[in-house]
Amino acid sequence: MDKIQINGGRPLQGSIKVSGAKNAALPLLAATILAPGTYTLHNVPDLRDTRTMLMLLQTLGASWERSGSSVQINTADLTGAEAPYDLVKTMRASVLVLGPLLTRAGCARVSLPGGCAIGARPINFHLRGFEQLGAVTRLESGYVEARVQDELTGNTVYFDIPSVTGTENVLMASVKATGVTTIRNAAKEPEVSNLVDMLTAMGAKIEGRNTDCLTVTGVTSLQATEATIIPDRIEAGTYAIAVGATGGELEITQCDPSHLPVLIEKLRAAGMEIATGKKSIIASCPVNSRGERCSLQAVNITTMPYPGFPTDLQAQFMALMIQCNGTSIIHETIFENRFMHVAELQRLGAKINIDGATAIVNGIARNNLFAAPMMATDLRASASLVVAGLAASGTTEITRIYHLERGYENMVEKLSQVGAKIKQVAG
Ligand code: EPZ
C-alpha cells in the first residue's frame, strides 16, 4: 500500500484550485437513476468515492464516460436494483441509490453499509422516511430491501437529527410521490441545495431550498438534465487550515467562501489573515524573518450541522491547534468516534487529552512538533495527519493513504505546487 512522505516545516506559498465537492457529486450521481436519459455533470472530482459510485451505477445498468471534470451518464436502460456488498462496504454513501431506485423501479436491495471508523452510522432515519412515503423495508442477510407497496405517497417526514444523506435520500424518494411531502428538520448543507437545484432542473417541484423545511409536490415525470457540482468546501477549508499550520500565504481558488462562515471566523480568531473574494479565499499566516510561522492563539470549536463548524474539518482544525498559544477545547457532537487522529498526532508530540466527546488540546510552542510515522484511519483524519506533517520538523510518513484518496483530488500534486516537500511512495 502506498504511503506519503512529507518533509515538513516549510511555509506554503501560491495558489490551489479546489475541485468539485465529493459530498455533492455522490447524491447528484445517484439522482441520475431517477429518470431515464443522458445526464451531463460538470466539476465532478475524480476520487476513489466518485469512481465507486460510477461503478455502482454501471452495476445497475447505466453507462458513463468522463471527459476531464465532466461526466456523461446514460441511465436509459437500468437493468438492476441491487447495490452489492463489495461496493457498498467501500463507500457507505452507496445507500444514496435507495431513494432514486424506489422512485424509478419501486424497489431496491442495498447492502447495509455497516459502521466505519468514525461511528456506527445507522440509516434508520432513511428507512423510516421511506416507510412514511409508503414503502416497506426489511433487513435480510446484511441487505436492506425496500419495496413500494402501491405507490409512493406524500407525507410529513421529521428527522430527529438533520441527516445529510437521509434528507437527500428521502428527497429523491418524494419527487414523484403522489401529493405533497414535507421534510422537517432537513439538513441545510450546501450539498443538499446542490441536489435540490439538480432535481428542480429535472422538473421536480421543491420549496424551502437552504432551509430546514423542504416541501416537495410530486410530479408525474422528470427529465435528464445537466448540472454542475459545487466546490468542495471541506477541501478548501483543509488548505486554509494547512497554511495556518505552516505559515505563508495560499490563494484558494474556485471555491465558495460563503460555505465556510464559521471556519473563517475561527481562523481569524486564531490570528490568521483571511481575505475572501466571490470565488476565492486568501489565507495567510505571517512568518518571521527566519521563515518561522508566527504563533497563533488557541480557539475553541464545537461541531454542528451546517452552518455550524463542520465535523469534516474537526480533525484538520485540531492539527492546527496543537501548535498554538493556550488551550483549545474541541467538542465533537456529530459522530461518536471521530478522534482517531488524536493518538497519531500525539506521536508528533501533541499534548491532547480526551474526555468523552471533548478533546482538550494544550498547544505546544511552534517548532516543537517532531516528525514520526503515522497511520491514516479515515478520510478526514488522514487530512489531519497531512496538515500536522506539513508543520512538523523532519520527515513524516503516513500509511494507509487510500483513505485520503477517497476525498481529496490530487492532494500531493496540489501541495507540491505551493512549496510542500511531499511525495507518494510505494508502501
Ligand atoms: C454526511 O454523512 C457526509 N457524507 C459526511 O461526510 C458528514 O460528516 C456528515 O454528513 C455530517 O455532516 C456524505 O454526504 C456522503 P448524517 P451522513 O446522516 O449523511 C446520525 C466525509 O468525511 N444518523 O448527517 O452519513 C449519524 O450517526 C463524510 O466526507 C442516525 O442516527 O451523516 C450521525 O451521528 C464523513 N440515523 C448524525 O446522524 C440515520 O439514519 C449525522 O449523520 C442517519 C444519521
- Domains identified in the chain and CATH numbers: 3-19+231-425 (3.65.10.10), 22-228 (3.65.10.10)
Euclidean distance between CA atoms 45 and 66, whole angstroms: 10
Q: Is the per-residue pLDDT at 27 higher than 90?
A: yes
CA of 163 to the centre of ligand 1 (A): 6
Q: Could you report the per-residue pLDDT of 286-317, keeping only the tens digit for each?
A: 877 776 778 899 999 999 999 999 999 999 99
Q: Is the per-residue pLDDT at 230 higher than 90?
A: yes
CA of 426 to the centre of ligand 1 (A): 32
Long-range Cβ pairs for the range 412-417 (8 Å, 24+) = 412/4, 414/16, 414/17, 414/239, 415/12, 415/16, 415/242, 415/386, 415/390, 417/14, 417/16
Atom 8 (ligand 1): residue with closest C-alpha? Answer: 312
Which of 388, 237, 227 lies closest to 310, judged by CA? Answer: 237
Q: Is the per-residue pLDDT at 114 higher than 70?
A: no
Q: What is the mean pLDDT of residues 275-290?
A: 91
H helices of 286-332, in order, are: 314-321
Give the percent of the chain with pLDDT over 90.
88
Distance in Å from the first CA to the final CA of the chain: 5
Euclidean distance between CA atoms 382 and 209, whole angstroms: 33
Q: Could you report the per-residue pLDDT of 132-178, keeping only the tens digit for each?
A: 999 999 998 889 999 999 999 999 999 999 999 999 999 999 999 99
Q: What is the mean pLDDT of residues 204-219?
A: 98
CA of 336 to the centre of ligand 1 (A): 11
Ligand 1 pocket mutation, candidates 121, 126, 233, 235, criterion most atoms within 8 A of CB:
121
Euclidean distance between CA atoms 312 and 341, whole angstroms: 13
Atom 10 (ligand 1): residue with closest C-alpha? Answer: 164
Mean pLDDT lowest among 13-27, 225-239, 279-293, 397-411: 279-293
Atom 24 (ligand 1): residue with closest C-alpha? Answer: 163
Q: How many CB atoms lie within 10 A of CB 157?
A: 26
Ligand 1 pocket mutation, candidates 47, 110, 164, 384, criterion most atoms within 8 A of CB:
164
CA angle 83, 88, 89 (to 5 degrees): 145
Euclidean distance between CA atoms 409 and 239, whole angstroms: 13
Residue 139 DSSP class: E
All cell numbers assigned to 382: 488522514
Atom 21 (ligand 1): residue with closest C-alpha? Answer: 312
Average pLDDT, the chain: 95
- In the block, cell 496540489 appears at 414
Confidence of residue 412 (pLDDT cuts 50, 70, 90): very high
Which pLDDT value is given to residue 233? 98
Confidence of residue 120 (pLDDT cuts 50, 70, 90): confident
Q: Is the per-residue pLDDT at 338 higher than 70?
A: yes
CA torsion sign, 367 to 371 to 374 to 379?
positive
Q: Which residues contact 205 (CB under 8 A, 6 or more apart)?
A: 216, 217, 218, 219
Specify the pairing of strand 3-8 against strand 394-399.
Answer: antiparallel
Q: Bridge partners of 362?
A: 327, 351
CA of 120 to the centre of ligand 1 (A): 10
Q: Ligand 1 — pocket residues by CB below 6 A? A: 22-23, 26, 93, 119, 121-126, 161, 163-166, 187, 311-312, 334-335, 379-380, 407
Ligand 1 pocket mutation, candidates 23, 48, 309, 332, criterion most atoms within 8 A of CB:
23
- Contact criterion met (CB below 8 Å) for 154 and 180: yes
Give the percent of the chain with pLDDT over 70.
99
Which pLDDT value is given to residue 294? 82
CA angle 98, 212, 252 (to 5 degrees): 85
Which pLDDT value is given to residue 398? 96
Euclidean distance between CA atoms 281 and 246, whole angstroms: 17
Q: Bridge partners of 331?
A: 302, 358
Determine whether 356 is exposed, middle or buried from the number of CB atoms within 10 Å of its CB (0-12, 13-18, 19+). exposed
